[in-house]
């Protein structure tokens, strides 16, 4: 969802009791002001809201702060983009925002699981505190590549709760044939900048440029259970357990071969075609492995690969 889209959805929602106006229509008007007339977004928003106030014949005070009376939703039940919902959740973790436009970013948790949240600087909301539980009214759901999150916005109401919300274990188990290992697996280098840990591409971090990377092990694997595929990430510890190849050994292999990709190739040869059961929390579409078990003898790896490629 673009920034304009967020504004448009908010405005359409604010006027939903007064006018028959769609988010698309609002977005078009915002878009025209911003792109054609180079009006700053905030000003465009004010101007569009004012014109709708005129059209509806109401004062700004009569405008609700969005909706109110949204459906109270569990985080794990969120499966649609651009829905206005109320949630009760605890701030499980705060992360370092990567852009000035973002005031806060982190993880919310409730009894059903965890979900990323974002609040924007322009919304000027009070800061949420890690470990505190809140009732959050009027947040918007967002979807990016199958991963859901919620966005706090200027109409969001924040009420601190006395109760301590128990954050549920959203760990899941998947099993199936390991049909592929994705690029960026094996011996990798991560950005050493504080709080970054991005995987370097050709020695470059997309945020910090050329840096002296730190070696790490990781596997991004695809498990196929016959009906659907699951993407699984193994961190260093789990990769070592799964492959029996430790970080020092992997570095030595890469040094001997003058090529780091040899580690990924070696792991591919060891793993593809076997059945595994993997358990761990989910983050978006990924299962983050914290338990793994090999279930059976190898299947016909070639046949599986053909199948994997056809998906």
Binding site for Zn ion (CB under 5 A): 191, 193, 196, 198, 205, 207-208
What's the closest the beta carbon of residue 215 comes to Zn ion, in angstroms?
15
What's the closest the beta carbon of residue 191 comes to Zn ion, in angstroms?
3
Q: Cα-atom radius of gyration of the chain, to the nearest Å?
A: 24
What's the closest the beta carbon of residue 201 comes to Zn ion, in angstroms?
11
What's the closest the beta carbon of residue 196 comes to Zn ion, in angstroms?
3
Q: For Zn ion, which is the closer residue by CB, 58 or 102?
A: 102
Residue number with the smallest Cβ distance to Zn ion: 191
Q: For Zn ion, which is the closer residue by CB, 23 or 102?
A: 102
Q: For Zn ion, which is the closer residue by CB, 29 or 198?
A: 198
What's the closest the beta carbon of residue 100 comes to Zn ion, in angstroms?
17
Q: For Zn ion, which is the closer residue by CB, 208 or 285?
A: 208
What's the closest the beta carbon of residue 240 comes to Zn ion, in angstroms?
24
DSSP string, the chain: --HHHHHHHHHHHHTTTT----HHHHHHHHHIIIIIS---HHHHHHHHHHHHHHHHT--GGGS-SS-SSPEE--GGG--STT-EEEEEEEEEEEE--SSTTEEEEEEEEETTEEEEEEEEGGG-PPPP-TT-EEEEEEEEEEEETTEEEEEE-TT-EEEE-SS-PPPP--EEEEEEEEEEE-SS-EEEEE--STTT-PBPBTTEETTTEE---EEEEEEEEEEE-SS-EEEEEE-HHHHHHHH---HHHHHHHHHHHT-THHHHHHHHHHHTT-EEEEEEEEETTEEE-SEEEE-SS---HHHHHHHHHT-
Q: For Zn ion, which is the closer residue by CB, 56 or 196?
A: 196
Q: For Zn ion, which is the closer residue by CB, 152 or 200?
A: 200
Q: For Zn ion, which is the closer residue by CB, 46 or 208?
A: 208
What's the closest the beta carbon of residue 205 comes to Zn ion, in angstroms?
3
Decide if 87 contacts 136 (C-beta within 8 A): yes
């Amino acid at each position: 969802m673009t920034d304009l889209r967020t504004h448009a959805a908010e405005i359409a929602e604010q006027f939903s009791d007064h006018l028959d106006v769609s988010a698309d229509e609002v977005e078009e008007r915002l878009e025209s002001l911003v792109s054609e007339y180079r009006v700053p977004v905030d000003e465009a928003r004010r101007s569009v809201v004012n014109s709708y106030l005129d059209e509806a014949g109401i004062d700004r005070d009569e405008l609700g702060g969005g909706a109110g009376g949204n459906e109270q939703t569990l985080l794990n039940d969120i499966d649609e983009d651009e829905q206005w919902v109320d949630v009760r959740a605890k701030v499980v973790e705060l992360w370092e925002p990567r852009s000035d436009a973002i005031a806060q970013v982190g993880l919310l948790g409730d009894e059903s699981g965890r979900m990323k949240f974002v609040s924007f600087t322009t919304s000027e909301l009070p800061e949420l505190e890690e470990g505190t539980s809140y009732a959050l009214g009027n947040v918007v759901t967002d979807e990016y590549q199958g991963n859901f999150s919620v966005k706090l916005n200027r109409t969001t109401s924040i009420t601190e709760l006395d109760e301590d919300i128990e954050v549920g274990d959203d760990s899941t188990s998947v099993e199936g044939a390991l049909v592929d290992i994705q690029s960026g697996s094996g011996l990798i280098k991560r950005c050493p900048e504080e709080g970054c840990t991005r995987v370097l591409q050709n020695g470059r971090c997309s945020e910090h440029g050329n840096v002296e990377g730190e070696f790490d092990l990781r596997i991004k694997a695809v498990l196929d259970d016959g009906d659907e595929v699951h993407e699984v990430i193994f961190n260093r510890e789990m990769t070592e357990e799964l492959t029996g190849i430790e970080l020092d050994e992997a570095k030595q292999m890469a040094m001997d071969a003058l090529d780091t990709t040899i580690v990924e190739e070696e792991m591919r040869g060891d793993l593809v075609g076997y059945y595994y059961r993997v358990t761990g929390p989910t983050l978006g579409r990924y299962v983050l492995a914290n338990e793994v078990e090999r279930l059976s003898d190898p299947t016909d790896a070639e046949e599986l690969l053909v199948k994997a490629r056809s998906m």
